[in-house]
Structure 1
């Protein structure tokens, strides 16, 4: 078959395609500002996403700024935490106040979260099958070993408690639902890291390297030691890496189909959690609990 004749290069010729950089520049959001995702500025990536809503993202970042900061926060403090201009923060806090998610403390002139925020989170907790299945076992274990037993999920590159059971009548680690802890420095976080793919773990390691700087080489070695301990024993023990006076033991809790990715740990003050007890009693019991729950997940 004869080839179709080539088009002549005259004035009517279709102009050449622009490269990807030009196309992205055209669609870049003019409202893009710094948006921090656990020490990684995502604005360069997200500004080229035509579906990304920056107004919504800013509002959620204002709410997230209160995480781990129980004191009321003013517009100046919120601006410093989020990196958003103070005028933008003022509009967002006014909007969130009108919607009932923030309340203004008139004496301090600062904002606080209101119970209305629970309406966003409670449906998640109430629908978590794993939380319902593990509750009774966690309560029993906390009472018997005298440590706080927690169930945690990933929150960006940290871990967030989705449930926590405390022993009665004994000093323990007082973290509760919604508390965030470092993924890289806790038994809960390292147990979670064990269950990830090599690619997912490498992405988080890059984030950790930016966050911890000169501390990262030694911390990476400690994480890899914890992962090797899980390979050998099913659990890892972390002693004083997150807080000098605490230690804990963690186990991964992943469903066979990969749809559920969590971790369990038991932690407390050093005087309440000897290394021997964690190795010989608490760790094996957490492994048993994780293995008992796994077939019911997913």
Structure 2
């Protein structure tokens, strides 16, 4: 049978909600500078040299816009062409930008002697990292003369979710803040050991709050571990993290946590106290 006709009057449709106000353009924002920085950031370990078309694709620019931007960076000495391939590459002048930050940073100057003591006492590489978004960036490092499986130079960024330094930083936030940061970050399985579920990572963060040290065992790089502790300001807010990287060829995680953990905690505490004075 055909359906009966409806006799009731349908309610009127809801009023359309007002459109969200358009974001007001910032009259001081310099888009040309933004494009220049995007080009510089396009170069990394996976893209050491790039063609103009590749730069345009990676930055989302038109080819003409990328060409103007790259030409300007060439004239200023930040970008050049590889002599054989004629592909674009970064030039050493780029290092000045990061070096000026490091040279003027009071935390790095303060932390250096304590990192040196930690490296000497532990026999392992000691590093200082700061948070950038959902990553940690290396800002200082004292290398061990012993074999290390992974090179992590100053300036390198590593994700918070699977590193001891990132978990140490997150341990100084309340759980809601830490969860929000983790949920906002991509969390690929970097190795078979990588924890990717937010609740599992938060359990490691909670452990750091309880014992003062965060750990990571082959979650970022095979053969590499991390033992980290937070550096905090006078209000207990995180400003950096100290960590050492004992390799699995020399240490088990339990042994490293037991023997090296107190050294890392003491180093982070000493830097925190020195920054407060």
TM-score by length of 1: 0.76
Per the alignment, residue 210 of structure 2 pairs with 232
C-alpha deviation, 1:259, in angstroms? 7.5
Instruction: Determine helix, strand or coil for the equivalent of 1:272.
Output: coil
Alpha-carbon deviations, 1:104-142, whole Å to 9, x = none? 213212222222222222221112222122222322322
Superposed, which structure 2 residues align to 1:32-181 within 5 Å? 48-69=25-46, 71-181=48-158
Per the alignment, residue 261 of structure 2 pairs with 283
Q: How well do the aligned residues superpose, as a CA RMSD in angstroms?
A: 2.7
Superposed, which structure 2 residues align to 1:211-250 within 5 Å? 211-212=186-187, 218-250=196-228
In structure 1, what is the Cα distance between the partners aligned to 2:152 and 2:240? 17
C-alpha deviation, 1:97, in angstroms? 0.7
In structure 2, what is the Cα distance between the partners aligned to 1:53 and 1:199? 35
Aligned length: 256
Indicate which of 21, 24, 36 corresponds to 2:22: 24
In structure 2, what is the Cα distance between the partners aligned to 1:139 and 1:190? 23
Per the alignment, residue 166 of structure 2 pairs with 189
Distance 1:84 1:219, change over 3 A: farther
Q: Which structure dedicates a bigger proportion of its chain to helix? A: 1
Structure 1 spans left out of the alignment, 5+ residues: 1-18, 28-47
C-alpha deviation, 1:177, in angstroms? 0.8
C-alpha deviation, 1:281, in angstroms? 1.4
Equivalent residues of 1:147, 1:173 under 8 A apart: no
Structure 2 spans left out of the alignment, 5+ residues: 1-17
In structure 1, what is the Cα distance between the partners aligned to 2:251 and 2:61? 43
Per the alignment, residue 7 of structure 2 pairs with none
In structure 1, what is the Cα distance between the partners aligned to 2:183 and 2:204? 18
